Amino acid sequence: MNLANKITLFRVVLIPIFMFFLLTDVSNGQYIAAVIFIIASLTDTLDGYIARSRNQVTNFGKFMDPLADKLLVSAALISLVEMSKVPAWMVIVIIAREFAITGLRVIAASEGITIAASKLGKIKTITQLVAVIAILFNNYPFKLINFPFDRIMLYLAVFFTILSGVDYIYKNKKVLHSGER
């Protein structure tokens, strides 16, 4: 197993540790969880860079890297719903989009088509990560000036989640119609 794949697996291992600190009554647990979430988020960039720079892109990495990202963000958002910090409908929209686009990618792969990450998809991921981090830090330092940065980022994350999902489906609608008579 190459280094990039080990880093991806490390991200998956961090998820239950993140959740432990977030959801238990540990002193400063939410802030420890936030730091773990940031580290896990940064490993996504690192493993991709290492895999591409060393020409070590593998099928395992192609499968596990996006799965690790979805698991991390879903675990964070579902936990934040449990803590009453994020409305459930927003998390349902985000997770539903992930299922839909993953399904689209599976259909495309069965047809020998690869659907690469789009610019909107990357913006979606960044806004989701920033929103989660801002919420985990209780909107600090923005709460000092009474600016709802965390809420704005959360709404932007939902907006880009929907927009990127529609974009993927529109640009790849031929995949959904392949095999029809």
Q: pLDDT (tens digit, 9 = 90+) per residue, 1-13?
A: 888 889 999 999 9
- CA dist 122 and 81 (Å) reads 24
Tell me if 103 sits within 8 A of 95, measured CB to CB. Answer: no
Query: For residue 18, which of 72, 63, 81, 88 has the smallest C-alpha distance?
Result: 72
How far is 166 from 20, CA to CA, in rounded Å? 35
What Cα–Cα distance (Å) separates residue 176 from each residue in 34, 147, 168?
39, 43, 11
End-to-end CA distance of the chain: 43
Q: Which residue has the higher pLDDT, 107 or 177?
A: 107
Q: How confident is the model at residue 86 (pLDDT cuts 50, 70, 90)?
A: very high
Q: Does residue 117 or residue 136 have the better pLDDT?
A: 136
Confidence check: pLDDT of 177 > 80: no
What is the model's pLDDT at position 178?
65
The domains found in the chain, sorted by start residue, are 1-85 (1.20.120.1760), 86-181 (no CATH)
Q: What is the mean pLDDT of the chain?
A: 90
With a cut of 90, say whether residue 175 has pLDDT above it.
no
CA distance 15 to 13: 6
Q: CB–CB of 5/47 below 8 Å?
A: yes
Radius of gyration of the chain (CA): 17
Tokens of 79: 């936990």
Among 71, 80, 77, which residue's Cα sits nearest to residue 43?
71
To the question of pTM greater than 0.75 for the whole model, the response is yes
CA distance 143 to 152: 13
If you average pLDDT over residues 151-162, what whole number do you get?
Answer: 97
Q: Does 181 score more than 70 pLDDT?
A: no
How would residue 42 be classed by pLDDT, with cut points 50, 70 and 90?
very high
pLDDT at 60 exceeding the cut of 90: no
For the segment 82-94, the average pLDDT, to the nearest whole number, is: 96
Instruction: Tell me what percent of the residues of the chain surpass a pLDDT of 70.
Output: 98
